[in-house]
A and B are shown apart, each in its own frame.
Chain A
Amino acid sequence: MRLTIFLSMVLAAAAQQQPKGDNCAPPPSALAPTLPAKILPGMGTVHLAITTSSPEAQQFFDQGVAQMHSFWAREAERSFLQAAALDPDAPMPYWGVAMVAGGDWRPRFQIDTLDAFFGRSVPPAMARARAAAKKAVELSAAPGKASDLEKMYIAAVAARRDANEKDPEEAFVKGMRALLAAHPGEVEAELDLALMIMRGFTTPDKKPVAAGSTEAVAILRGLLVKAPEHPGVHHYVIHGFEGSTFAKDAWPSCEKYSQLVTNIPHALHMPGHIYSQTGRWSDAEKAFADAAVNERKWMAQEKLYGDGHHGHNVHYLATAYSFEGRYDDAIEAAKELLGFKENPAQMAAADGVGTAHAQGWFAMLRTLVQFEKWNEILGDEMLPVLPRARQEAWRHWAKALAYANTGDAAKAHDEAGRFDAALADYRAKTHRANPTELEVARQEMSAHLEMAAGHMDKALKLFEQASKAERRLVYTEPPYYPRPVAEPWGRAAVKSGKASVSARAFKIALEQYPKDAHVPSGTAEAR
């Protein structure tokens, strides 16, 4: 059973000692945001009435909640801090800081996956979240400063931020259930509960990981009726439905979310996840391109904004272009990211895939391999050397495929040897086992080598095995295998005149990536 997760969560886990997030949302700020905050356009409209003497504090508080629901932790914290500055006696702005400062306001399945890889880690910013929870509790104890409802919100987050709590997420869930028992139908609480019980779906069979997966979907379907203009509802629908058999049900929310929240990169980006996994490549491209435009603006304004989320977004854009058959556009997107420089720590790291530069590098590799641009791969110019063992392994893999497919078996074998040497280097430098996707790559490379030697039956068998292994890889977005093995497997079967095998292979490719432009037209769509 495999859990649906996001892009670089696992890969970043392998690459960095300290998890800094998964790039799918801008990471939480290690530094407390500075004031003043501003009322920003395009954040989405949310209102949660709080006890305050300041209408302006209420306004910043509402903005913070809206930003929280788009996982923009840094700006949400800034808004909550502004609200607290405007009304220092109001407890709920501190509730907001407690909710977001730790950077863990995100779907439960993402939290579970990060914990599984890193163990429970406490980022430095968690100290701010814990201090804020304590402050909220203290302020709410003053007579008339907090309603019963507010006290229950505060109690839930205080339980999550209790350093002695063994299962903080479950403590929060318990608090939310208690709140909803006392205040049935409370929209914000239902949303918070849905996010924190959302456990995702397995791959490749797309079954609920836990009961929470299904309960979250039920809550969200109810909220779509009850609060159709709430941006958080549509955002959480996207997360709650992704990776399921009914991902298409999130299409209306994809459309609505990007209309409600027009100025947060993650909000513009997220619909692309659903669109790309359901074959709506051009809609995915629009989502990612819109997010990129918006994100470049924020990056230009804030020195510490970072480029990780932009890297993820544009990498996904390049991927969508590649699957849709838009070679030039995919190359252009990859080149943009290759133009980003890594910082000194990233450059010195033994492994790394999450930087904007590294994501651009992989996007370039994917595009060249998916379009079988063998001469460009062998030319060494479009795919520059990124001097890390993981990327060197991929580069030699691509060159082995290029030589094998252009009739130079001897050089293909040389490159296969360099691939193995790079992996040995990887193990020596990182003290970790080979990345599983590179083990699959080795299997696929063997198939190409057999094909180059004219051993077609053996090659087809190896392609089939590699395809099977590839489909078992941990699901990442965008995929961290360059393209489905079923694509070259199907083409090899065509060359061998084995129509039934090619039909099966291409059907598998379409099951993995609906409307994959690299599958010959006429192949029946799997769904």
Chain B
Amino acid sequence: MLFAKSYAVDGIVVAVDPAARTMLVSHREIAKYMSAMMMPFRVEDAEELKGLHPGERVRFELVVLKDRTVARHIRPTGQADGAIPPPAGKLEIGAELPDFVLTDQNGRAVHTSAWRGKVVAIDFIYTRCPLPDVCPRLSANFAMLQRKFAETDLVLVSVTVDPDYDTPKVLTEYARRWAAGPQWTFLTGDVAPLAKALGEVYWADEGSIGHNSTTTIIGRDGRVAAVLDGSNFRVDQLAHVVRQKLEGHR
């Protein structure tokens, strides 16, 4: 390609449109080219869109030509040490979330089917988590979503992966610490079936609990719309994914 410049891009996929051969990406700053924002990228090869899903973190090369730009060499980014395989039974993007019954911070039974018709963001945390880059960051993300989307019907749900310790009483205190309003629910109880369905893997480690920290967005139709793995994304990228679902786009 003549007169082309290329840039490395790191972003979160917000939506994929195979027909238009584009992907909507919330990207970080592109050095010497563009500040962080959400924008569509046309891909050089439509095959590269296959398998991408909303919420996925990708890196790719952005080639800037005189009259157009194209994205190529799209690579989902895994952890350096290899991604933790999802559990068998993890719901695919587009699959319907079955009904699960859990207990909220007030001790009330909560049916996940009650969220139908609303956009729901679900993350997995535990209140004793000592790693600032994991649960506290995820909760900070939700605290920001709570402020940013206060006027919407977005439902925020944080599910504990330490249900033995995180009783409703403990979750009430945690909710207070994060100034959680009525929009934000904390769930405990038999969390394993919901975790499995959403691809959350957790285990008892030495002196702590390990987990892969997924954040899932459920659409108004009750189907899985996006999954973000880990906690290494910017909150504005999560907000872009959420807004996309709130505004009803695919």
Chain A residues close to B by CB (< 8 Å)? 17, 20, 26-32, 34, 74, 124-125, 127, 303-308, 343-345, 347-350
Contact = CB atoms under 8 A, between A and B. Distances in A.
Contacts of B81: 17, 345, 348-350
A348 B85 contact: yes
B250 interface: no
B80 A343 contact: no
Interface size band for B: 20 to 34
Interface in B15-34: none
B204 interface: yes
B207 A345 contact: no
B203 interface: yes
Which one of B83, B165, B201, B207 has the highest number of Cβ atoms from chain A below 10 Å of its Cβ? B207
B212 interface: yes
Interface string B78-90: 0111111100000
B161 to A, nearest CB: 12
Contacts, number: 68
A78 to B, nearest CB: 12
A304 B80 contact: no
B208 interface: yes
B169 to A, nearest CB: 14
Contacts of A308: 206
Interface stretch (B54-62, B125-133, B173-181, B234-242): B125-133
A74 B208 CA distance: 12
B82 A304 contact: no
A485 to B, nearest CB: 32
Which 9 residue pairs across A and B have the least CB separation, nearest first? A306-B206, A29-B207, A30-B208, A124-B130, A348-B82, A343-B203, A344-B84, A349-B81, A30-B130
Interface string B200-233: 0101111111101000000000000000000000
A304 to B, nearest CB: 5
B84 A31 contact: no
Given A32-B128, A124-B131, A344 B207 contact: no
21 contacts: A28-B207, A29-B207, A30-B130, A31-B207, A32-B128, A32-B130, A124-B130, A127-B130, A304-B205, A304-B207, A304-B208, A306-B207, A343-B203, A343-B205, A344-B85, A344-B210, A345-B81, A345-B84, A345-B205, A347-B84, A348-B82
A29 B203 contact: no
Given A343-B204, A344-B84, 7 more contacts: A17-B80, A26-B206, A27-B207, A30-B208, A124-B130, A306-B205, A343-B203
Contacts of B80: 17, 350
Contact of A350 (B82, B131, B204): B82
A32 B207 CA distance: 9
Contacts of A124: 130-132
A209 to B, nearest CB: 29
B210 A304 contact: no
